[in-house]
Amino acid sequence: MVEEITLEPEVVQIFECIDQGKNFLLSGGAGSGKTYSLVQVIREAINRNPAAHVACMTYTNAAVREIEDRVNHQNLTVSTIHDFLWDQIKSFQKELKAAMVALINDPAVEAIASTEAPVPADYFDQHEKGIQYKEWVSLKDGFISHDELIILAGYMFARYVKLSDILKDKFKFVFIDEYQDTHKIVVDIFLLHLRQSGRKNIIGFFGDAMQAIYEDGIGDLDAYRTGSEELVAEVKKEQNRRNPSLVIELANRLRTDGLRQEPSTDPKAPNMIDGRVKAGTIEFLYSYSRDLAFTKTTRFFAGWDFEDAKRTKELNLTHNLIAPKAGFKDLIEIYDKDPILKFCGELKKHIKENGLIIPEDLTFHEVAAQLNLHVRKDSKLDLIVSDPIKKLLYDELKDLPFSVVRKMYQSKEALIDDKKQDEDDENKKGSKRDALVRHLFKIQFLIHLYLNKEYNEFIRRTEIKVTSVQDKIDIKNVILELNCMSTCNIDEVIKFADEKGICRIDDRLTRFVEEKQYLYNRVKQIPFSQFQKLFYYLEGYTPYSTQHKIKGAEFDNVLVNLDNGKWNEYNFKSLFIGGGSDRVLAQTQKIFYVCCTRAKENLIVYFDSPEPGVVAKAKAWFGEEHVHEIV
C-alpha cells in the first residue's frame, strides 16, 4: 500500500516541472526545510515510478546517513558527490588511463599537469589495479584524490557519450543537495554533458545561493537559467520554520538574490508558539575599551549558558581564533604555523621561481645557507638560529637531505578536520585526519564511551576481553587513570593505552612515527589535556564553533564575533561600509547571513572598535534600539 502524504506546494511545483521533462532547482533560504522537501521529492518520485532508480548526492557523509535514515528504499542510492562520480567512471580503466595521460600532458590543467610531462600513452599500463581513488595523491602511481577526481570526471563525461547513456539508464532521477557548494565542473556534467545523450532523465538541485560559503562551490545556477534555453527551472521555497521574526527580517535585509522569507504558517513549526511566530531578540554590540570576554558578562547575555553547547554557540571565523579559547593553541600552531617548514617553503618557492637545480646530496642546512640571503634581504636563517625555540626545531632537520625535508608537509586539516571516518573501512573517503590524530581520537573516544556508560560500544571498539568481574574492575581503573592523565604528555598517554591494551599502537601509527618523526616529536610533548579539549570542540561539546562549520545547524542562542582573524578572504568592515573587492564582499555577506540564521531565539553580534560607518549600517540593519556600545 502506497503511503498517503500531503505534498508541500513547492513539491507539487517540482513535479509539474518533472511532468514537463524539465530539470529543476529548489531555492530555499535558511530554515526553510529544504531537506524535508528533498525527502518528499524522493519518496514521491519512487511512489510514482516504482521501478525507477533514484540517485541522491550530498556534500558530507553525515548528510548521506541522514537521508538514508529518512528514506529507506532499495531503489535509492545516496552518496557523496565524489563517491557517486567515481562509481560512474571507475570501471572504464582504459579510458581513465588515456584521460589521465592527456590531463597530465596539458599544461592548462594546473591541478593535474605534471612537471614530468609529457608522459607516454602507456604510462599507466604498468599498474595492474589501474587508476585508483584514494585519500592522497600520487599521480605516478595512479592515485588520485578529491580534486583530481572532479577534473577527471568532467573530462570523461565531456568526451564519452557512453558514460551519459549509462548514467541515464541507471538513474531516472538524480538529485543534488546543497548544490551551491558543488564544483562548477560537476554542474556542467549534469546540465551540459548529459545532454549529449538522447536518453531522458531528470536532474534536481536543492540549496540556497546565499549559503554558498565554500570557495570552490558554484554558488548559484544563474548562468544555466539565461539565454534561449533554460536548462533548469527554479522553484522558490519562501517559508522560514526556524528563526524568530526579528532574525527573519534581518536575514531578508542581508539577502542579495531577491528571495524574501516569510514565517511558516504551520502552527507546528519550531519558530511558532500559540499560533504566532516568535519575536526573538537581536542585538549588535560594540566596544572601544572592552573585549568580548567582558561583553559576555553584561546584561545582554542574561540567561545564556555557554556551558550548554547544544543550545548556545559562539561563532568565530577561524579555528585559529577559537584555539586559545578552547584550549588547544599549541596543537594548532604545530600543524598550521611551523616556522621551519614555512622557511623551507620559502626556499622551495625561490628554487622554483629561479629554475635552480639542487644536488640530491645537499643537506637542508647547506641549501638554506646558500639560498637564504637571496630569498630575503634580511637573513631569515639568522633569525631562526638566534631564537632558542626555533633553533631546537631547526637542529632536528638541518642535517637531513634537503630532498627529504622539502617533502615534509603539515596541514591543520590533518588536525581539525571533523568529517567522520569509519575505522572499519579504510576505503571510505572523507576524513583528512592523519594517523596520529586518529589514534588519539580513538583513545579519547574510548574514554568518552566508558565515562558515558556506553559499555557495549566501548567493548566493541577495544581489544580487551571481559570474562570476569575482575576484568571489569581492571578496565574501570585503567580508564579512570587514563582520564586523569590530562597533565601527562601525549606520548605517555599513547604508551599507557597501548600497555594496558585499551588502544594498541598499530601499523598505521608506527608508520606515521617513522615517516613523520619531526611532527611526532613536536606533538608528543604537548599535554594530553590539549587534545582532550580539541576532541570535545570537534565533537560539538564546547560553546565554540567556526562560522563555516555550523551551516545547517541551529541553536537557541548565537553569538557572532566579527573578527577577520587576519584572513583576507573576508572583511567584516567592508561588509558594513563597502570597499574592497566584490568577491570578498560577497563571501563575507554570505558567511554573515549563515551565522545570523542559526539563531532560534536570540542573536547577538559583536564588533570590536568599529568605525562610525559600521555603527550607522548596524543601526540600519538591526534597528537603532538594538545597537549598543559596551563601556
What are the residue ranges spanned by the domains of the chain?
9-79+165-237, 93-155, 246-317+547-629, 350-409, 415-539
Integer angstrom CA distances of residue 128 from 94, 97, 118: 12, 12, 22
Cis? peptide before 359, omega within 30° of 0? no
Residue 485 has pLDDT above 90, yes or no: yes
pLDDT band at 373 (very low <50, low <70, confident <90, very high): low
Tell me if the domain spanning 9-79+165-237 has CATH number 3.40.50.300.
yes
Q: In this model, does residue 375 exceed pLDDT 60?
A: no
Predicted pLDDT of residue 372: 67
What's the mean pLDDT in 70-79?
92
pLDDT top residue among 376 and 368: 368
User: Does pLDDT of 5 surpass 60?
Assistant: yes
Residues 6+ apart with CB under 8 A from 583: none
The Cα 213–Cα 219 span in angstroms is: 8
Which residue shows C-alpha cell 602507456?
122
Handedness of CA 526, 527, 533, 539 (dihedral sign): positive
The proportion of the chain whose per-residue pLDDT surpasses 90, expressed as a percent, equals: 67
**Is 613 annotated in some ligand binding site?**
no
The answer to whether 28 is a known ligand-binding residue is yes
3-state secondary structure 422-439: CCCCCCCCCCCCCHHHHH
- Give the pLDDT confidence of 156-201 residue by residue, as tens digits: 999 999 999 999 999 999 999 999 999 999 999 999 999 999 999 9
Tell me, what's the pLDDT at 116?
A: 60
Q: Which residue has the cell 595512479?
A: 142
Q: Which residues have a Cβ under 8 Å from the Cβ of 452 and sit 6 or more positions away?
A: none
pLDDT above 70 for 38: yes
> Is pLDDT at 153 greater than 60 in this prediction?
yes
For residue 206, what pLDDT band results from cuts at 50, 70 and 90? very high
29 is in an annotated binding site: yes
- pLDDT at 228 exceeding the cut of 80: no
User: Residue 253 burial (CB < 10 Å; 0-12/13-18/19+)?
Assistant: exposed
- Please return the burial class of 416, using the count of CB atoms within 10 Å of its CB with bins 0-12, 13-18 and 19+: buried
Q: What is the mean pLDDT of the chain?
A: 90
Least confident of 59-63, 235-239, 281-285: 59-63
Q: Say if residue 35 carries a ligand binding annotation.
A: yes
- Residue 275 near residue 252 (C-beta atoms within 8 A): no
Cell of 509: 601509527
Nearest to 397 by CA among 331, 336, 340, 332: 340
Predicted pLDDT at 113: 58
Is pLDDT at 419 greater than 60 in this prediction?
no
Tell me the per-residue pLDDT of 547-575, one tens digit each, with 9 for 90 and over.
888 877 899 999 999 998 778 889 999 99
Are the C-beta atoms of residues 174 and 203 closer than 8 Å to each other?
A: yes
Counting residues of the chain whose pLDDT is more than 70, the rounded percentage is 94
Instruction: State the CB neighbour count (10 A cutoff) for residue 215.
Output: 10
Tell me: pLDDT of 429 over 60: no
Question: Burial letters for 13-39: b for 16+ Cβ neighbours within 10 Å, e otherwise?
Answer: bbbebbeeebbbbbbbbbbbbbbebbb
